[in-house]
Amino acid sequence: MGRKWNNIKEKKASKDANTSRIYAKFGLEIYVAARKGEPDPEANRALKVVLERAKTYNVPKAIIDRAIDKAKGSSDEIYEELRYEGFGPNGSMVIVDALTNNVNRTAPAVRSCFTKSGGNMGVSGSVSYMFDQTAVIGIEDKSMDEVMEILLEADVDVRDIVEEDETVMVYADPEQFSAVQEAFKQVGITEFAIAEVTMLAQNFVTLPEDGQAQFEKLIDALEDLEDVQQVYHNVEFED
């Protein structure tokens, strides 16, 4: 499981370095989630998950409030949730999740990123079967034994618990995301190194130096697209 946490940290560090871009993406994601149901996270699981992710990326409250207020208002902006799957250099696998108000703009843009980086788009399901949707919670300043005891006391089932780089990572079914967080909050733990539902590769691959550089170019190009919210892959980056 350690490899998974390393990839998550790499992705998070990359996004932390582009705060204005990530804030804009979160604002849209929060708006769309709030429009799906009640603009109240306690009554809207999708919104609650997004807000917990936003917290770990230090998204300002003003941006969150503005997105929720917009969802409460009379805005008629409609966004579609789309998933694209493809292959990068050396058979690497990539999943791209997008929110768009113009499908005719998004699909060609995503396809262009793949082709310019030596990859190609795949059909639906060609890549996602090699990934698992997983709730990921990172706890700092607690030992693995302490985390296990907290979850046992709360009677919460998880897939795995791993300690790495002074962070205890809890991997669970997506449906257990709120239950895991609540178990920690009951004992006063309210800050998390990471808290999100993500797509984790079942197996990872490493690339030769030139292939890694090409792959990083692909990921950067995809994440730079206005409509792209999340990019997942199965490449283990070497330090």
Q: Which CATH number fits domain 80-129+203-233: 3.40.50.720, 3.30.70.980, 1.10.10.60, 2.20.28.160?
A: 3.30.70.980
Do 80-129+203-233 and 2-72 fall under one CATH topology?
Answer: no
pTM above 0.85, yes or no: yes
CATH 1.10.10.200 fits 2-72, yes or no: yes
Determine the pLDDT at residue 2. 45
Listed by start position, the domains of the chain span 2-72, 80-129+203-233, 131-201
Reduced 3-state DSSP string for 119-160: CEEECCCCCHHHEEEEEEEEEECCCHHHHHHHHHHCCCCCCE
Read off the pLDDT of residues 158-203 as tens digits, 9 standing for 90 and up.
999 998 878 999 999 999 999 999 999 999 999 998 899 999 999 9
CATH dotted code for 131-201: 3.30.70.980
Which pairs from 113-118 meet CB under 8 Å and 24+ separation? 113/218, 113/221, 113/222, 113/225, 114/86, 114/87, 114/88, 114/218, 116/221, 117/88, 117/89, 117/214, 117/215, 117/217, 117/218, 117/221, 118/88, 118/89, 118/214, 118/218
Q: How far is CA 93 from the centre of its chain?
A: 16
Amino acid at 170: V
pLDDT exceeds 70 at position 8: no
pLDDT exceeds 50 at position 123: yes
Listed residue (147, 164, 166) closest to 156, CA to CA: 147
Percent of the chain predicted with pLDDT > 90:
69
pLDDT exceeds 90 at position 91: no
